[in-house]
Amino acid sequence: MQSQTIPNNLKISPYLVFYVIISMQIGIGVLGYQRIIADYAGHDAWISILILGSYIHLVLWMMYKLCEMVNGDIITVHEFLFGRFISKVVSFAFILFYIIYLLSFILNFIEVIQIWMFPDINNFVFSLFFLLLSIYIVYGGLRTVVGICFFGTILPVYLIFTFTFTLKYADFTHLLPIWEHNITELLQASYHMSLTSVGFEAILFIYPFINKPEKSKKWAHIGVATTTIFYTVLAIIAFSYFSKKQLENTIWATLSMWQMVQFPFVERFEYIGVANWCLILLPNICLSLWVASRLLKRATKLKQRKGAILISTIAVIIVTLFEKGVDIESFNNIVEQMTVAFVFVYIPLLYCLSLIIKKVKT
């Protein structure tokens, strides 16, 4: 089965998948994931990140197998396995998923800004301007969106070196004894790390736009390995810097570590870190908006540009209804459950089902 033909001038090079994976996996969750996973596995939680990373490699391998089966995206996979009607129904479910996914980025970032920088920032105004910028980028097509993923990865990379300022205060004996928690606790920590680590499933939707997609496999796996190592190292630094009691009371561990960064010309480096996170967050929102608007186009024949405006309008309206604190935390729990269900449960089940159906059809 062949999906709709994509002109070569609209396709991206295989190596750019590396930047897509990294830019989607590294988002707002980086600023405070350490406390969440430490609640379940203590200072052994870095092991949970490695467990989750290994499983992500397996799911990524399944995703490529699914797309290769039909030489298209996941919508083509559903058409092949279940028919066009069910495929459209699933498309609307994915559109809802990516709208909620997009909202989680905006709401959590607004909360960070309100707590650390501008308490009185208006949800409506911030989300409106941020989404207007995202619409402008999406209008340029996937190549433009992937370009933002590239710059959103390269330009803020210097922030990695700022965490070395905490090493002189680190006590790596906090990590001992290793493997103090049982496998159930480690898996619970992996589960609650899932929302921070997803984003790689975008491959299911951009696969037809990759030039020679078989060559992008290695770059996708290298990207997942890079983010897994990044999250693991950053968690180890945080666990060695904070005691267990301190970490329990530190909501944004990464931002708190930036308070140790000192330069003669900068007094509050965390302000620079939060400002830079706009560039890191932009690819997440742009690619989510692109995926949702493209799915809407395929399901309803609505032009993608109009779809992007419609989805952004819905997002702005919903953002204005939220208040910081409890509302956002409850929303994050819902997004986490949806993410685990779609990425880590549904995709493996779909792969297993595809093997059975393909064999029966043959």
List, for residues 174-185, the tens digit of each pLDDT value. 888 888 889 999
Averaged pLDDT, 133-146: 96
- Structurally, the chain folds into a number of domains equal to 1
User: Given a cut of 70, is residue 25 above it in pLDDT?
Assistant: yes
- Length reported for the chain: 362
Q: Rounded to an integer, what distance in angstroms lies between the CA atom of residue 47 and that of residue 189?
A: 9
Q: Rounded to an integer, what distance in angstroms lies between the CA atom of residue 130 and that of residue 312?
A: 10
Q: Is residue 2 assigned to a domain? A: no
Give residue-wise pLDDT tens across range 238-284.
Answer: 999 998 888 888 889 998 898 888 777 777 788 888 888 889 999 99
Q: Is residue 74 assigned to a domain? A: yes
Averaged pLDDT, 16-31: 93
Q: Please report the pLDDT score of residue 29 as a whole number.
A: 87
For residue 167, the enclosing domain spans 8-361
What is the pLDDT confidence band of residue 362, given thresholds at 50, 70 and 90? confident
SS3 78: helix
Give residue-wise pLDDT tens across range 196-237.
Answer: 999 999 999 999 999 999 999 999 999 999 999 999 999 999
Q: What is the CATH number of the domain that holds 142?
A: 1.20.1740.10
Q: Please report the pLDDT score of residue 326 as a whole number.
A: 57
Q: Rounded to an integer, what distance in angstroms lies between the CA atom of residue 35 and that of residue 33?
A: 6
Q: How many percent of the chain have pLDDT more than 90?
A: 62
SS3 6: coil
Q: Is residue 1 assigned to a domain? A: no
Q: Check: CB of residue 333 under 8 Å from CB of residue 108.
A: no
What is the pLDDT confidence band of residue 2, given thresholds at 50, 70 and 90? very low
Which among 146, 155, 159, 110 is positioned nearest to 130, based on CA atoms?
110
Give the number of other CB atoms < 10 A from CB of residue 244. 11
The answer to whether the bond into 177 is cis (omega within 30° of 0) is: yes
SS3 263: strand
Q: Is residue 3 assigned to a domain? A: no
What type of residue sits at position 3?
A: S
Q: Please report the pLDDT score of residue 16 as a whole number.
A: 96
Q: Please report the pLDDT score of residue 1 as a whole number.
A: 43
What are the structure tokens assigned to 143, written together? Answer: 């190549």
Averaged pLDDT, 130-149: 96
What are the structure tokens assigned to 310, written together? Answer: 């419609």
> What are the backbone angles phi and psi of residue 210, rounded to the nearest 5°?
-95, 125
Predicted TM-score (pTM) of the model is: 0.93
Q: Please report the pLDDT score of residue 324 as a whole number.
A: 58
Where is pLDDT greater, at 253 or 360? 253
Averaged pLDDT, 65-93: 91
Q: Rounded to an integer, what distance in angstroms lies between the CA atom of residue 235 and that of residue 238?
A: 5
What is the pLDDT confidence band of residue 325, given thresholds at 50, 70 and 90? low
User: Given a cut of 70, is residue 3 above it in pLDDT?
Assistant: no
Angle formed by the axes of helices 123-139 and 304-321, to 10°?
160
Q: Where are the alpha helices (DSSP H) in the chain?
A: 16-25, 33-41, 45-70, 74-82, 84-116, 123-139, 142-154, 159-162, 183-197, 203-206, 217-241, 244-248, 253-258, 269-300, 304-321, 326-339, 347-361
Q: Is residue 321 assigned to a domain? A: yes
182 HSE (CA, 13 A, CB side) = 1
Q: Rounded to an integer, what distance in angstroms lies between the CA atom of residue 315 and that of residue 336?
A: 18
Name residue, tokens 């666990």.
Answer: 239
**328, β-bridge pairs:** none
Q: Is residue 56 assigned to a domain? A: yes
User: Given a cut of 70, is residue 186 above it in pLDDT?
Assistant: yes
> Distance between the two ends of the chain, CA-based, in angstroms?
13
SS3 84: helix
Where is pLDDT greater, at 265 or 156? 156
